[in-house]
Amino acid sequence: MHLEFRHLRTIKAIHEAGGLARAAEQLHITQSALSHQVKGLEDQAGVELFVRRSKPLRLSVAGQKLLALANRILPEVEALEADLKGLISGRSGRLHIAIECHACFEWLFPVLELFRKAWPDVDVDIRPGLAFGALPALMREEVDLVVSSDPEKLPGIDFTPLFDYEPVFVASSRHPLAQKAFVTAEDFRDQTLITYPVDRSRLDVFTELLSPAKVEPASIRQVELTAVILLLVASNRGVAVLPDWVVREVRYSADYVTRPLTAGGITKRLYAATRSEETTLPYMAHVLRLARTEPLKLQKPSVPIA
């Protein structure tokens, strides 16, 4: 049996119009076409779909089953078509985000909260587990936005600068290094360093400071949650290096000291990577703007990137 949407629409129209002639008009085809169509269906199914003995044409038992199917299915199809239209117009879409920097959750959540209110039809999600190969995943359309601090020249991928940040040394105010105006790589040699449980290549302390200087901390303790890291630091179980937007809340606390890395401090820049054809989508532009401006409110007063 070769059922098609056309047939369902036909059944529905004939039922509603109460006859072939009127239904044909409503469907913008001839009455003859409908007659042929119904006959074809009935031949294939081997069942009469309408009771011809009566006027107006009424559905038979089999016809009623088909009508019920039509009433369940056709609205879904229409909903899908509306959905696709939204997708094309850019009103709806998908925004699955991969973040290479673990601490980015801190500013990303508030940004996404704002975003979701403005774009309720966009499917927002943060995809865990592919921080390593985030950019390939972006190219394969497995994700739609990657937050990264290492822009690469890739075809079809745009890197939009978001904001600068400073990885900052954090320690208990009772810690010996609290006496120094800034810390250097050597200062870590006899310290317990608390980090997120990710590869060294994605930790600023290592990429910017310790690895170049070939310094290894006395020990490393990996902790998942930012709040727990700060707790351990406060109780002097180790020291940490965190982005400035994270330490904002502890910067002026009596329990902590924050110090720049090296005399001048280190500045890094975060980027959002997107597929070129989507960078200018309205919702994408919006989330990029939010990600450029909102995190600044969590940092020390500073100048936005032009």
Residues that bind a second copy (CB under 8 A): 1, 3-6, 45-47, 51, 53-54, 58, 60-62, 65-66, 69, 72-73, 76-77, 80-81, 83-84, 87-88, 93-94, 123, 139-142
Q: For residue 6, state whether it binds DNA (rule: CB under 7 A).
A: yes
What's the sign of the alpha-carbon dihedral 71, 75, 76, 77?
Answer: positive
Amino acid (1-letter code) at residue 79:
A
Q: For residue 296, state whether it binds DNA (rule: CB under 7 A).
A: no
What CA–CA distance (Å, rounded) separates 284 from 122? 10
Pick from 31, 207, 279, 293: which binds DNA (CB under 7 A)? 31
What would the x/- binding string for DNA be over residues 48 to 87, using CB under 7 A?
--x-x-xxxx------------------------------
| Residues whose CB falls within 8 Å of the CB of residue 47, separated by 6 or more in sequence, listed in order | 60, 62
Pick from 8, 11, 13, 20: which binds DNA (CB under 7 A)? 20
Beta bridge partners of 165: 268
Q: For residue 104, state whether it binds DNA (rule: CB under 7 A).
A: no
Among DNA, a second copy, none, partner that 37 touches (CB below 5 to 8 angstroms by kind): DNA
Among a second copy, DNA, none, partner that 56 touches (CB below 5 to 8 angstroms by kind): DNA
What CA–CA distance (Å, rounded) separates 245 from 302? 11
CB of 54 to DNA, least distance (A): 6
What CA–CA distance (Å, rounded) separates 140 from 123? 18
Residue with token string 């774009």: 119
What CA–CA distance (Å, rounded) separates 171 from 167? 13
